[in-house]
Amino acid sequence: MKLSDRFDLFHLLMLALALGGALVLGFSGSGSSAVVTGTSRQLEQDLAYRARIAFLRDVYAPVEELMTQGRDQQALLKLAEIARRYPGEGYGLLLRGRILHRLGAVEQAAAAYAEAVRKNPDFVDAQAPLSARQEIAALLETELQPVRQRAVGQGKSPSARRALSDLRYLQSRLAGGCE
């Protein structure tokens, strides 16, 4: 490059100073308000997630206690009570699915599980704190075939068809992939 005049020299100097300054600031990583804001954002994100988990565990602790005692009907009533306060909460739906599955109401359990996972895909992540991956896999293992037979066999049942669609959704979610 030929530096023909002061104009070129000025701009080259400006380029070198700007690049040098940006590099020094960028790699020093301290004293910049932007960095502080950025850190807070990531921290806020992680805090919000953990706080949410802790809150859900706290809110649904009475339900889980009733379930441990085997009082599933009371647990369902308690879930309905909590749902009035927090309608549409995914974890409540997940617990509902768990109870209904235990009670043998497979089609309703599939609907509850599918709705829970639609609201929060974390429930099928293996490492997530509130993961229900194993129980959903177990549900699919034992119920997919019978539900399919009821849905497509003789005397096709509309509720079984809906349940089949829910189970297939859960099956696809368990298989992974992008979302």
Backbone Cα Rg of the chain: 27
Phi and psi (nearest 5°) for 140? -65, -40
Cβ 116 to other proteins shortest distance, Å: 12
Cβ 21 to other proteins shortest distance, Å: 15
> Of 66 and 110, which CB lies nearer to other proteins in the complex structure?
110
Name the region of 9 (left: φ>0; alpha: ψ -120 to 50; beta: rest): alpha
* Residue 147, token pair as written in the block: 């539900």
**Could you identify the residue written with the tokens 């490492």?**
127
Cβ 36 to other proteins shortest distance, Å: 8
Binding site for other proteins (CB under 8 A): 26-27, 29, 34-35, 38-39, 41-42, 45-46, 49, 118, 121-122, 125, 127-128, 168-169, 171-179
> Of 102 and 148, which CB lies nearer to other proteins in the complex structure?
148
Phi and psi (nearest 5°) for 67? -65, -40
Cβ 155 to other proteins shortest distance, Å: 22
> Of 25 and 72, which CB lies nearer to other proteins in the complex structure?
25
> Of 82 and 114, which CB lies nearer to other proteins in the complex structure?
114
Torsion of CA 157, 158, 159, 164, to 10 degrees: 90
> Of 28 and 73, which CB lies nearer to other proteins in the complex structure?
28
- Which DSSP string do the residues of 81-143 spell out, in sequence order? HHHHHSTT-HHHHHHHHHHHHHHT-HHHHHHHHHHHHHH-GGGG-TTSTT--HHHHHHHHHHH
> Of 100 and 140, which CB lies nearer to other proteins in the complex structure?
140
Cβ 25 to other proteins shortest distance, Å: 11
Cβ 118 to other proteins shortest distance, Å: 5
